[in-house]
A and B are shown apart, each in its own frame.
Chain A
Amino acid sequence: MAEPFLSIQGVKKSFGPTTVVQDFNLDVGSGEFVSFLGPSGCGKTTVLRMVAGFEEPSAGSIHIGGRDITRLKPNQRNVGMVFQAYALFPNLTVAQNVAFGLKVAGVSKADSDRRVAEMLDLIKLPQFGDRYPYQLSGGQQQRVALARALAPKPKVLLLDEPLSALDAKVRVSLRDEIRSIQRELGITTIFVTHDQEEALSISDRIVVMYGGKAEQVGTPFEIYNRPQTRFVANFVGTLNLLEGTVTDASTGAVQVEAQDITLPHKLNGAQTGEAVSLALRPEAITLGPRPENDAVLRGEIAEVHFLGSVIRVRVGVGRSVVSLDTFNNSATPPPTVGQKIEISFSSNDLLVLH
């Protein structure tokens, strides 16, 4: 990455004896869209609030464009923020809400009106300027909140779970709209969410957080396909975990549910006799052997769920159950429960977790 535009270094935050964020480091490039993903209480919102200035870090520093903003008040940071609860001012019209930051900044009425019109066009609500927030739907309110945050041309845009309060359909369309506006304006953006699909679909990079720490930082592809910790592997996407024991580390031999498989170069440093977890995405497993797959396990069909275009099959392998998805093929009927089958996968798609 070139010179980072937003730099969070060694940030820690404690509330009394409880540490909610510890040793958090992140560099965000100019125009980059980074998502903080994690379960409730993982510290993602606290980091965002420290960037906004609503919380002061107990240690560490935050720089925007090379300027140290760690101790600056929120109204001196030139940062825009969209809140989960919309936070539109109920006493002001849509246009007045969007113009609020411009008025505070002392922008002339003519320039302010021009910018408000520009912003309302951007969010595709040009005719809604005279309405009050209560006259808008949730999705429209959140678009207005986005326009209001962008109107004063902030250096960084912070989005605090902006889609959480919306219904599923609106969430998807607004998510795409946010991303397209962000690309159009080229504004550096931090997006907080606990929804992995949201994070995977719109981010340049994702920071997966757990217990106040960044567990892994990477592109959606890296996070999904190369999770570095057990938490990331479990939290992002569906994951099958098979417990096994390394029987010969030199050849990569592993025993899983009393069956032997060989995983050359995949043991991730595990020693002979060591217990390991083999993690596999459902889409990496196929029913029956395939030439490209180098590992095969025997099992029995436990459940079959017909979902239309996809059939989700759960296969019992010893005491473990493995989920896999296959595409529906009208020429081939789905397997039946109790049927003895083989499942196969490529050791390249496998993650060995200690």
Chain B
Amino acid sequence: MKRSSVWAWITIIVGAAYFFLPLIATLEFSLRMRRGEYSLDAYRIVFGDERFQATFGYSVMIAIFTIILGVLIVVPTAYWIRLRMPWIRPVVEFITLLPLIIPAIVIVFGYIRMYGSNSPLPFLGSARGTDLLLTIGYATLALPYMYRAVDTGLRTIDVRTLTEAAQILGAGWTTIIARIILPNVLIAVLSGAFLTFAIVIGEFTMASLLNRPAFGPYLQNIGANRAYEPAALAVIAFAITWGCMSVIQVLSRFAPKSANRPN
């Protein structure tokens, strides 16, 4: 074996150990609720908990609305920038990166000040209004991932020529986006959607400070008061995230293949 390949294997083993050891330890610990033997008791308790079902269901609903909002905002924006305003792309990319720089707590305090019950837009005055604000906040948090996923998808197709081909055949903007652009970047959009889903499911700060019954605050609450269930929940959360990533991988096989394009 070559010397360089030995070092490559050592690096891979160290890296894998760094990532997998804590996970294996968490999984092992989550199975030790029954003294002296492995069991799924912790998981049974978690899945049987009404609060788990309610908070998980709530977060799934909010995630779905966040994905819809994100797609409605990002797809036309990214499309228009690629088609007509390519010079503005660096600016938009910077803006979409802001949620990674500005902590969620800053955003949520801004919301509380801006949209309190005494403000002209009293989103926080009702539960539905707060849900709407939470959805908007999550769409903002997911913006860096959704924008990049869609933009990468758009890069794989000849946006301008396809648009012109559809236009000359009589199509308007709605038809072009709905029937030509969106289907061709659907896998990219789904990638963004699953990343958004993973973010929303585990988000704590916004949901907690806006006092909504989401899965993130529930995880925190269980973690603070129980021993084995938090480990089980952590494993479940990882399983959901990995499940989402696996779905992205599977779906990417069904992406419309680009025709041979001349260079």
Contact = CB atoms under 8 A, between A and B. Distances in A.
Interface of A: 52-54, 73-81, 83-91, 100-101, 104-105, 132-134, 136-138, 141, 145, 148-149, 152, 164-165
A100 B165 CA distance: 10
Considering the complex of A and B, which 4 residue pairs feature the smallest CB-CB distances, nearest first? A165-B262, A133-B259, A101-B169, A87-B165
B169 A152 contact: yes
Contact of A52 (B168, B183, B259): B168
Interface residues of B, number: 24
A89 B168 contact: no
A8 B167 CA distance: 21
B168 to A, nearest CB: 5
Given A91-B180, A91-B184, A86 B169 contact: no
Contact of A134 (B157, B167, B257): B257
Nearest to A88: B259
A145 B259 CA distance: 12
A83 B175 CA distance: 20
A104 B171 contact: yes
Given A75-B167, A81-B168, A89-B162, A164 B262 contact: yes
Contacts of B171: 75, 100, 104
A87 B161 contact: yes
Interface string B151-177: 000000110011011111111100100
For the residues of B in contact with A, the DSSP-based class is loop
Nearest to B164: A54
Given A75-B172, A84-B262, A90 B257 contact: yes
A149 B158 CA distance: 18
Contact of B170 (A75, A83, A86): A75
Contacts of A86: 259-262
Given A132-B256, A134-B260, A87 B162 contact: yes
Contacts of A76: 170
A83 B164 CA distance: 9
Interface in B225-263: 256-262
A89 B171 CA distance: 13
Given A54-B167, A91-B180, A134-B258, 20 more contacts: A73-B167, A77-B168, A78-B170, A83-B165, A85-B158, A87-B158, A87-B165, A88-B259, A89-B162, A89-B180, A101-B170, A104-B170, A104-B175, A134-B260, A148-B165, A148-B169, A149-B169, A152-B169, A152-B170, A165-B262
B259 A100 contact: no
Contacts of A52: 164, 168
Contacts of A141: 259-260
Given A134-B259, A138-B260, A164-B262, A74 B167 contact: yes
Contact of B165 (A89, A105, A152): A89
A89 B161 contact: no
A75 B168 contact: yes
Interface of B: 157-158, 161-162, 164-172, 175, 180, 183-184, 256-262
A122 B33 CA distance: 73
A90 B258 contact: yes
8 contacts: A53-B168, A74-B168, A78-B170, A81-B165, A87-B158, A100-B166, A138-B262, A149-B169
B165 A79 contact: no
Contacts of A85: 158, 161, 261-262
A80 B168 CA distance: 6
Contacts of A89: 162, 165-166, 180, 184
Contact of B256 (A83, A91, A137, A152): A91
A14 to B, nearest CB: 19
Contacts of B165: 81, 83, 87-89, 145, 148
Contacts of B169: 75, 80, 100-101, 104, 148-149, 152
B81 to A, nearest CB: 18
Which one of B165, B175, B183, B257 has the greatest number of beta carbons of chain A within 10 Å?
A: B165
A296 B39 CA distance: 108
A227 B166 CA distance: 39
Contacts of A87: 158, 161-162, 164-165
Nearest to B162: A87
Contacts of B183: 91
A90 B260 CA distance: 10
Contacts of B260: 86, 134, 137-138, 141
A141 to B, nearest CB: 6
Contact of B257 (A54, A73, A101, A132): A132
Nearest to A137: B260
A79 B167 CA distance: 10
Nearest to A132: B257
A164 B262 CA distance: 9
Which one of A79, A90, A136 has the greatest number of beta carbons of chain B within 10 Å?
A: A90
A223 to B, nearest CB: 28
Nearest to A148: B169
A46 to B, nearest CB: 14
A135 B259 CA distance: 8
A91 B181 CA distance: 9
A74 B164 CA distance: 8
A84 B158 CA distance: 12
B256 A90 contact: yes
Contacts of A77: 168
Nearest to B172: A75
Nearest to A96: B179
A4 to B, nearest CB: 22
